[in-house]
Chain A
């Protein structure tokens, strides 16, 4: 409840602030960057380490409003497309493009570029992406048909309301036809408010104002520098000392936030959900975990509050597969949540039930089950894994950690070469299609627990074509409940993290139900 008020107040302040002052042009803003992204190509990466510094180079067809913290289908605004329309059968989505838009190298932007972008994403062109992590988003697009330079139609296999939401994500920028994928990785060309200047690994990423930006008068900033600082403590000190104007978005932990509040009391900070959840993955094909009782016992021993208290100092959320409210727009209501296995506040009772299941499966105080919990070798994975190990001890499970390097991690779990793992799952868009098909769909590459329910698969399709939002929400809740009852992939906690910026920075809105959509920076300005 409290949080709702905080958000409302923050919204009012943002709105009030915007009205009170007229933006000033000029200045170079500095945002620290936590690591060197693998490349500059947004379509080829699956991390906001790439998203934050490079989103400003591009435009989408449509984009979630940059001044609203919660992304919903209603906050989708025109960008390169001035307008869009659904056909009556909801299988064709037509965009009218903004005239006179130019790429940073001076060539005109046309409907051909839209087609190229989607063709690239569907691996239809000779020049292919090295990586194509969101190819499945476009699985339902049968063809992209240009009609003249300034109109383009998306032909869909079945109606899919989520298509527009995905296109409105920061992950869906338009790429130029005439630039190779390789150049897009090293020297990207876009139509956006900022031009790429340089990317020095481990040192800095630099963007400069695009003086010929098609939205007249924007951007306000002369440029943005992203100095790369890998140690978080160092980075926060750089912020406190005023060496950077803004922290990397959602890199501020609750403990660091307290430090910043005392050291730099004027700083503006926001703690928001990142739409990333920590979850337990159990490979149901590997004995003894083919035993449903065992999986259920492991889900029941999870003390979510302990995770939230230790990792987030109490400031994080319990939820299902979809981000809980108020920020999340598809999450189940609290009453439904507490009825799920292991979500009850009475941990002692849950654990007693878990122990009974263990005994039933043939384990007990004298016969512990020895397992390995696989996890990725970075702190955001390792830390919760350590807590999980400790909680598994409560139900006669002696677990050790199997630390896997990032380079091997995804391959390992996708090959299902693990028994039990601790995983993080991020959702770029707060959208049921994205969450369900990718993580729980039969045969999906990222469905790493081998969970497959033919009837739920049908339910996924049914909610996807439902155009009535209220009805669709009910369907989504039912699916999510079923997933949690089946112990498909126990969701432990939905993370929250913070962003701080100096009071000199204006016009920035921290998104609160996605970490991937809010970095166009064309409305941001500095007052100093």
Chain B
């Protein structure tokens, strides 16, 4: 697919080099990816401008307005405490984004550092690090996150850490594999001959060449971070009340009222699904565009 993309770009002639044309072409070639990006942008904007696009305080309890159906006053209805679901969903995007971006960033950064070191230094250090990665990978993400967050206690920061740790091995592995293959490349040898230090070679030459697979991976991890946060909160171990975490909104009280007030279950779940769907669409497109194996 990517081949056709570059060929098409070529065929489009001189104009294609202009940013706008390239962008348009991308949109045309990857409509699903564009849709994914759009979904994410909407969520990010909603999170940033939450104060502007909501009228009601997401934490404001209101006895006379409890469990109202979706309608004029409350677009998505209200919950057991009379809080506005729409406001809570919008403000909840902040939590979802903070957790997923935070966990992915921490997990990737640590993974990159470990992978680079491991691949470049090799030897016993590499062997040792690989065993640690084996250990982390032998435990399901949710199981490891569950035990870690139980150990750390429920809070936003701890949730981010609990999700970031199990994410380290994947990016460490990708970086290490790339580092190993790039080490043998001619230009690295040239750099070595020129007398560049190993760390400088790693940072100057190897890291930039592994960015593409890393982006693909990070996008995929973004989605699973959102899902893991939701699951943790659903099980009562993630981001605590009264913060409007989507997973938390779905747990206790929503499950209790799923018959009498289904909107308590439908909207938060739809928000989670939609955001993850966005990252998945974008991730797919990014992989098509960036994956070096397909770039030929």
Contacts and interface: CB of A to CB of B under 8 A. Distances in A.
- Touch test A–B (CB under 8 Å): yes
Contacts of A255: 67, 80, 257, 260
Interface string B223-246: 000000000000010001110000
Interface string A378-401: 010011011101100000000001
Which of B82, B154, B241, B255 has the most chain A CB within a 10 Å cutoff? B241
Given A389-B59, A389-B242, A403-B240, A383 B154 contact: no
B260 A310 contact: no
A237 interface: yes
A405 B242 CA distance: 16
Given A233-B258, A255-B67, A310-B80, A390 B240 contact: no
A390 B241 CA distance: 12
Contacts of A237: 259
Contact of A387 (B61, B154, B257): B61
A215 interface: no
B60 interface: yes
A310 B62 CA distance: 8
A259 B257 CA distance: 10
Contacts of B60: 390
Nearest to A400: B242
Contacts of A233: 255-259
A387 B59 CA distance: 9
B240 A231 contact: no
Interface centre among A233, A236, A237, A377, by most B CB within 10 Å? A233
A62 to B, nearest CB: 38
B63 to A, nearest CB: 4
A309 B63 CA distance: 6
A386 B256 contact: no
A389 B255 CA distance: 23
- The bracket for how many chain A residues form the interface is 20 to 34
Contacts of A387: 61, 81
Q: Is the interface of B mostly helix, strand, loop or mixed?
A: loop
A69 B82 CA distance: 34
A139 interface: no
B154 A377 contact: yes
Interface size class of B (residues with CB under 8 A): 20 to 34
Contacts of B150: 405
B242 A386 contact: yes
B153 to A, nearest CB: 8
Contacts of A382: 241
A385 B59 CA distance: 12
A232 interface: yes
A403 B252 contact: no
Interface string B99-113: 000000000000000
B261 to A, nearest CB: 8
Chain B CB within 10 Å — which of A253, A259, A310 has the most? A310
Contacts of B255: 231-233
Nearest to B236: A377
B259 A306 contact: no
A403 B241 contact: yes
B66 interface: yes
Nearest to A404: B153
Interface in A223-266: 231-233, 236-237, 253, 255-256, 258-259
B108 to A, nearest CB: 29
A253 B256 CA distance: 10
Contacts of B256: 231-233, 253, 256
A255 B81 CA distance: 12
Contacts of B240: 377, 401, 403
Given A259-B260, A377-B154, A383-B253, A310 B242 contact: no
A305 B63 CA distance: 9
A258 B242 contact: no
Interface string A398-435: 00010101000000000000000000000000000000
Nearest to A379: B252
B61 A390 contact: yes
B46 to A, nearest CB: 23
Contacts of B253: 379, 383
A382 to B, nearest CB: 5
B195 interface: no
A403 B154 contact: yes
Given A255-B67, A306-B63, A383-B80, A401 B257 contact: no
A236 B66 CA distance: 21
Contacts of B258: 233
A386 B81 contact: yes
B49 to A, nearest CB: 23
B294 to A, nearest CB: 46
A382 B236 CA distance: 11
A231 B258 CA distance: 11
30 contacts: A231-B255, A232-B255, A232-B256, A233-B256, A233-B257, A233-B258, A237-B259, A253-B256, A255-B67, A255-B80, A255-B260, A256-B256, A258-B260, A259-B260, A309-B64, A377-B240, A379-B252, A379-B253, A382-B241, A383-B253, A386-B242, A387-B81, A389-B59, A390-B59, A390-B61, A401-B241, A401-B242, A403-B240, A403-B241, A405-B153
Which 6 residue pairs of A and B lie closest in terms of their CB atoms, listed nearest first? A309-B63, A403-B240, A379-B252, A386-B242, A390-B61, A310-B63
